[in-house]
Every structure is written in structure tokens, then in C-alpha cells.
Amino acid sequence: MQFKSFNTAAFLRDHWQKRPLLIRNPWQWWHNPLSPDELAGLACEDHVESRLITQSSDDWNAEHGPLPQTRFGELGKSPWTLLVQAVDHHVPDVAALIEPFRFIPNWRIDDVMVSYASDGGGVGPHFDHYDVFLIQGLGQRRWQIGEMCDDQTALRSHEDLLLLANFDAADEWILDPGDMLYIPPGFAHNGIAVGEDCMTYSIGFRSPSRKELIGNWCDDLLPEMTDDDRYRDPDLSIQQNPGEISASAINRLHAMLMEQLTDQQAFAQWFGEYSSRPRYPETDWRPQEPIEAEPLRELLAAGHPLLRNPASRFSFIREEQNKLLLFVDGESFVCQNAVIVLAEKLCANDSLIVESEWLKSDDIVALLAEFYNRGSVAFDWS
């Protein structure tokens, strides 16, 4: 599914993380890739994250999935919304919605959340810390855009939903199927279903905070450190006041910390592994039967294409001209020589036909076998 008319360079220059943009049906063709019943079925699965938002007057209530199948028959005439996260992990046609957005680096892409709402349904006025493209799948939704918000913006008191205490719409549009709205981080917005069978696809992008980066990197650094690595001052001299923490002590203590934190190469490898960790690591995608290198080589030689698991994350960092680090599902792999081309292709394409020349490399076949047995790639038998 590709755009028919969308200037990505102009979008990045004028709108990305700057201001919202309404795009009327930019697709070469549009069809809704998921039915409401299929979405409801996913919300009943144990391994799928979902929420049901119901409204009563000006109040919202949130129920977390998995939802019993009977729950949907119990909903009355009051507005309600079903939200299902990471639908792209389970439905290939939904995963295909991400492809036109590959002009944004893969590590920034989070998932595709899908919502279904009855007439008047929504999740209330709120803001996000990340960029989002909102694609109308079925029916209509009225989107209202407000002012910029931050962590100091007043919120309602609600256990599960971050709803704005005050919301004034500056712009308002009704989206039809195929229409798309981009909202940068921080902009207040409110989506309200107009009529029944309103489905919206939300493509969200990760935007790690400084707090998140420092906290997680330090958590991962700590196990590598030993108690023997301690403060030392063999050149200690007598101070005029023993209560003073001297400038030399502060400098030495600060250097102990910064020596670890300013190691950019170590940070690069850590971030590659961290950013490629699966969103739901508890989900087991491994095949029922593992495969050895030679049977895999035969299948690849027969031209069977490999598909990346939509739930897996692939990225790489180029370290030298003939060396790169490939990151797959939280682990790093050193790639050199012919393996570099394979790594680049894996990161750039959702599907891949392995070239015959690559099959002469035992390193390439062994690496693909490992990814297959992890569930990071699979054969496309369609």
C-alpha cells in the first residue's frame, strides 16, 4: 500500500515534529485491512494488549483485556471505544500500513494501534509524547486539535486515562476512509466517532526521553561493574576544614561516572540492543520445528522468500567500512564482508529472496538459521 501523492521531503521539512497536517486520501488505493469482528477477536486473546473505553455523561471508564467474548453484547447505547495495540504483529495487512512510512527510520516506529468506536465514542481529549499518523479505516471520525501541552498541563484525575482538564479546539476536521492526520508530540487532540463502525489506525513512533535513556542504560551498566572499582585518593593532603567536600574530590568522583557515560561506542551498542528489544518479549514466536543450516540452504536455494516477523525489530550501526553491528530483538551480531549486504537488506525490506551467491557463505546461512529458529524471520509459503 503506497502513497499516490505525498511529498515526504516537504512533510519532513514543514511538519514533522512541528505542526499537524491533514492529508486527504493520499493512497494509490485504499481498503480497510481489518474487519471490526476480527479486531474484537484479537481483544479476546490473552497475548494481545487491549482496552475497552466506555463513556457515561462526561466520564470515561477503562477495562483492560483480554475481554470475554460476551462483553461486546453487553454494551448499551452509550458511546464506547475498543483499542488494540500492536495489531501489526498479528495481521499482515495491517503491518503493510507501515511500509509507506519507511522514510522515518525503523527504530523510531513503534506499532499500529487499531480502534473501533460506536457513534460518539472516543478516548477523550489528551496529548501524546510521540508522533502519530491517524488513518481512517472505516466510517468517519471528527478530530479536534488544540494547543501544545507538556508535563505541566493540568489533567483530570483518572486512574487509567491521561485526560486533559481543559481543552479548546483550534482546528477541526472530519476524516473519511483513507484520510490521514499527522499530529506531532505535545499537541492536544480529541477524536470522536461520527456514526457507527468507525475504525482508526494509529501508527505511533517511539521517542525516548532523557530520563528513559539514562535510567535504562545505567540499569544495564550496573551488572558489569564490580565493588572493587572504588574512589581512590592516594594523593590526599590535609584540608583546612574537614567538613568540606573539596573541588578535587568532586572532580575525581565526577570523572568516575563520566568515564562510563561518555563511552559513545559502548552507548551505541547498548542503544542498538535496547531499541531493538521486542515490545512483548514474553510472546514466543519460535517455530515448532527448528531448522539446521543445510536444510535451510536448500529451501533458500529453491527461491522461497523470507519474511521478517512484524513483531521483530531489525536495525544496524555501521562501525567501519567493512564492519557493522546488526541488532535483532535485543541482541547484536557483528557482520563483516558478505554478511554486511545481507544485514542491510534485512533491515531495509520486510521480505527477502536470498541471492544464490550469498548461499555460498556459511556465515550467512548460519545467521539466517539462527534468526529463523528465534522466530525473527519465517518463510513466506503464500
Please choose, from the candidates 368, 370, 376, 349, the residue with its C-alpha nearest in 3D space to the C-alpha of residue 298.
Answer: 368
Q: How far apart are CA 48 and CA 66, in angstroms?
A: 7
Positive or negative, the CA dihedral 144, 150, 155, 158 is positive
Please choose, from the candidates 119, 138, 114, 141, the residue with its C-alpha nearest in 3D space to the C-alpha of residue 55.
Answer: 119
Please choose, from the candidates 30, 52, 55, the residue with its C-alpha nearest in 3D space to the C-alpha of residue 42.
Answer: 52
Summarised one tens digit per residue, pLDDT across range 290-309 is 999 999 999 999 999 999 99
Give me the mean pLDDT over the 212-240 stretch.
93
Q: What is the mean pLDDT of the chain?
A: 94
Q: How far apart are CA 356 and CA 336, in angstroms?
A: 18
Q: What is the pLDDT of residue 380?
A: 86
Q: What is the pLDDT of residue 56?
A: 83
Q: What angle do CA 322, 328, 330 make, to 5 degrees?
A: 120
With a cut of 90, say whether residue 320 has pLDDT above it: no
Enter the pTM of the model: 0.92
Cell numbers that stand for 312 in this block: 521483530
Q: How far apart are CA 323 and CA 313, in angstroms?
A: 20
Q: What is the pLDDT of residue 184?
A: 97
147 confidence band (pLDDT: 50, 70, 90): very high
CATH topology for 293-379? Malonyl-Coenzyme A Acyl Carrier Protein; domain 2 (3.40.366)
Between the alpha carbon of residue 39 and those of residues 31, 53, 96, 158, 169, the distances in Å are 16, 15, 16, 26, 30
Architecture of domain 8-205: Sandwich (2.60)
Residue 140 pairs in a beta bridge with: 194
32 confidence band (pLDDT: 50, 70, 90): very high
241 confidence band (pLDDT: 50, 70, 90): very high
Summarised one tens digit per residue, pLDDT across range 243-282 is 999 999 999 999 999 998 889 999 999 999 999 999 999 9
218 dihedral zone (left: phi>0; alpha: psi -120 to 50; beta): alpha
Q: How far apart are CA 250 and CA 78, in angstroms?
A: 62
Give me the mean pLDDT over the 178-207 stretch.
97
Q: How far apart are CA 58 and CA 165, in angstroms?
A: 12
Instruction: Please state the domain extents for the chain.
Output: 8-205, 293-379
The residues, any chain, with a CB within 8 Å of residue 185's CB and separated by 6 or more, are 17, 127, 128, 129, 130, 131, 207
The residues, any chain, with a CB within 8 Å of residue 243's CB and separated by 6 or more, are none
Q: How far apart are CA 309 and CA 219, in angstroms?
A: 28
